[in-house]
A and B are shown apart, each in its own frame.
Chain A
Amino acid sequence: MVNANTGSFELEDVSVAYGNEIAVAGVSMTVPPQAVTALIGPSGCGKSTLLRCLNRMNDEIGGVTVGGTIRLDGDDIYAKRVDSVELRIRVGQVFQKPNPFPMSVYDNIAYGPRTHGVRNRAELDAIVEHSLTRAALWGEAKSFLKKHAFELSGGQQQRLCIARALATEPEVLLMDEPASALDPISTQQIEDTIAELKDSVTIVIVTHNMQQAARISDRTAFMLRETMEAPAALIEVGDTRTMFTNPSDPRTEAYITGRFG
């Protein structure tokens, strides 16, 4: 099942504060459906913070306030009646370090669907196979579905986490530096997986690796925190190729040519 033309975000003047400290301010941008949007910028510039706004994972951290408006397919996700738990079924997340649950490969993937009421064994089997296939892990994993997830290699664990996130059929997949803990071959496999997935799911990926952003994304947003006193801001957002060949802001150019960050 493909969620045709769904999974687009509109951000309007989004700001995030940890306690009294404003970390990110004034971000307005759109995330187009069924495409890869990359968030780039030096470390500490609020990429993860902004990403966590999109599935309200900031709610899990105490003392975080999010300002502005974020709409998913037109609906304000911070509206009172929106249940963050339901939002996260539509917007999945893959973390920086693989974090499989201490259970079998199969149970890891069945975890989300089971939460949301799928009990039928055949149905779960189908979801597990489909999700693993989409995460390009089925070929390897079909022989060790019953194995404990901790026995997999780091790269396999991360693709397992991708499969786990896909198992609830999200419209959007958020990825926070998903390959930064992995070796080059595993990184390549993750990038290939992303390229396959973007036809069926919107992807927002944080990366501090500009080559990676250039390789895999359709759209790039560059964030920067210019001084430690000021909050981070969105400097420029646009088509990836244009951004890397002809950036409109001198700070973007400085960053992508490696002059800071």
Chain B
Amino acid sequence: MSIGSLIDSRDRSGRAAIRRTAEAVASGLIHASGWAAILILAAIASFLLLNASRALGEVGLLTMLTGDSWYPTSDNEQFGFVPMMAGTAWVTIVALLTAVPLGVASAVYISEFATGRVKEISKSIIEFMAAIPSVVYGLLGIALLVPAVKDILGLDTGLTAFTAGVVVGIMVLPTIVSISEDALHAVPDALRQGSAALGNTRWQTVLKVVLPAASSGIFAATMLGMGRAIGETMVVLMLAGNAGIIPGDPFVSVRTMPGTIAAEMGEVVRGGLHYSILFATGLVLFAVTFAINLAADLVLERQRKRWGR
């Protein structure tokens, strides 16, 4: 070994030491931020629980979850969540019925058929949709969809769970498209080739091999979209009509859980029962969306293991 290469290798080992230190610092930071995320989550949950404790003690979780009327300010106060849970459910169902077919179709188009510029542009449009503030969607809904729903369906008002659900569906579309597209992209090309070599058209291949292979990811996309739809506040506040009845179908005005919290929080006495009840509502929302996101993550993890990516 020449002296030149000795120096060179010493220099390299010095650089290696720096790199090792940098790696240790980086991995320390990543671990720390992971723990920080868990701590923040725990802090949010305890904070909600603390503020909801009066409601949980005086009214009780079961009474809230099963109560069918919501009269928070009358003399004979009623704090039943059922009307707003049903309202949230209708908005979410309509949102998913809008977003899942449209979103999966877009993802299939982008992943399996579009190429070059068209593909890039489609992806950019979807990303841009995610960046539009929800209040803008709300305005568009009021201007375009509310009168259309009222006239076409012949309703007394266009402010319905259906109207809000369609707009929320368009809002969660980017989530569904991008996660479904990831799932389709993760399906190995070898499967597409195997199917083509058996005399299948692109369409047959997509329907019979690619979509089934990506189904768990598409399911996860649906779950994440559902989590977002349940929590969406501004659009439902603007479009759902906020009536406190228990809706039997989506073509009536409804109130939702996030909408109720946002609408009433400004008028309650801090520390009062109604205040605490709204925190209990938030706690239920938090628990439901947390569970949904966790389930989606588990499904995605299984998919990653399956394809080794």
Contacts and interface: CB of A to CB of B under 8 A. Distances in A.
Interface in A80-136: 85-89, 92-93, 95, 97, 99-103, 111-112, 115-116
Contact of B198 (A60, A100, A102, A115): A115
Interface string A17-57: 00000000000000000000000000000000000000101
A63 B121 CA distance: 21
Contacts of B188: 99
B96 to A, nearest CB: 25
A85 B212 CA distance: 22
Given A95-B190, A95-B193, A95-B194, A102 B199 contact: no
B191 interface: yes
B195 interface: yes
A139 interface: no
Contacts of A92: 197-198
A89 B198 CA distance: 6
Contacts of B190: 95, 97, 99
A8 interface: no
Contact of B199 (A60, A88, A95): A88
A89 B196 CA distance: 10
Given A102-B212, A103-B212, A112 B193 contact: no
Interface in B165-215: 188, 190-201, 204, 208-209, 212-213
A190 interface: no
Contacts of B204: 115
B115 interface: yes
Nearest to A103: B212
Nearest to A91: B197
Interface stretch (A161-169, A224-232, A234-242): A161-169
A62 interface: yes
A196 to B, nearest CB: 21
Nearest to A97: B190
B265 to A, nearest CB: 48
Interface string B114-145: 01000000000000000000000000000000
Most buried by A among B194, B199, B200, B306: B199
Nearest to B192: A60
B111 to A, nearest CB: 15
Given A95-B190, A99-B190, A165 B197 contact: yes
Give the 7 A-B residue pairs with the shortest CB-CB distance, closest first.
Answer: A99-B190, A93-B197, A88-B199, A112-B198, A89-B199, A99-B194, A102-B213
Interface of A: 55, 57, 60, 62, 85-89, 92-93, 95, 97, 99-103, 111-112, 115-116, 161, 164-165, 168
